[in-house]
Amino acid sequence: MNEIFEWERVLLNELPAMFLIEVLVRTSVMYLVILVALRSSGKRGVKQLSVYELVLIIGLGSAAGDPMFYEDVGLLPAMLVFLTIILLYRLTTWLSGKVNKVGELLEGSAVCVIRDGRFSLENFEKEDLAQTEFFSELREKSVEHLGQVRVGLLEPTGEMSLFFYEDNDVKPGLPLIPDAYNKKHSELVKKAVYACAFCGQTKEIEKGKVECPACKRDEWVEAIDTRRIT
């Protein structure tokens, strides 16, 4: 039984100190291998990773690290892993470019999440989107309320593409700024145009408790119709 905090073991796992030089060499070799592999994958910088790239990175990542410092992991098997992953990556990207169905299956396709100033419920619920995250992404794109957005698509990369109404066509919509949004309530006291706090459906309401005609929930926020100033 080893003793706790045996420094020789903690620091070097009982390997000779010279092994550190081997680590230096191993790491340098793997560094070059990673560099060559990523360049030959045809991939440039990384902004949003597609599903394939994520698989590529995870696969390469775990194969790259081990041989750098595990004495019992050789460099050649790791390089073979690299070669195999790069070939598979090229094969799947090529295939999904050639055959539409394969692309859709592996990457998913763009999903419409906003249409005509409100959330498309069927997709919104199916995609299991977290509302707060979704709202903050819209705000990052300078959307103050949903009435500014004609179409919103969720791309396979996870990015959101937005297409806006012309200034004159902006409709009253659900405010996305927390101060305004958090004033949601279900007991309405004055006549105004309200937006459903869940789906963004707008409706002129006198007062009282009203069910949203689209999603059947009953929390409302007073709609705003500010234009988009960019």
Between 85 and 199, CB nearer to Zn ion: 199
* Residue 122, token pair as written in the block: 């069927």
Smallest distance from Zn ion to CB 128, Å = 17
- Least distance between Zn ion and beta carbon 201 (Å): 4
Task: Name the token pair of 26.
Answer: 């191993």
The helix-helix angle for 51-69 and 19-40 (nearest 10°) equals 160
| Binding-site member from 68, 215, 221, 223 for Zn ion (CB under 5 A) | 215
Contact 105, 92 (CB under 8 A): no
Nearer to Zn ion, 124 or 198 (CB): 198
The CA distance from 102 to 53, in Å, is 16
Tell me the torsion sign for CA atoms 187, 210, 196, 156: positive
> What's the closest the beta carbon of residue 152 comes to Zn ion, in angstroms?
16
Instruction: Give the nearest distance from C-beta 60 to Zn ion in angstroms.
Output: 45
Q: Which of residues 185-214 bind Zn ion (CB under 5 A)?
A: 196, 198-199, 201, 212, 214
**Exposed/middle/buried for residue 65 (C-beta within 10 Å: 0-12, 13-18, 19+):** middle
Per-residue contact string for residues 153-192; x = within reach of Zn ion by CB under 5 A: ----------------------------------------
Interacting residues toward Zn ion by CB under 5 A = 196, 198-199, 201, 212, 214-215
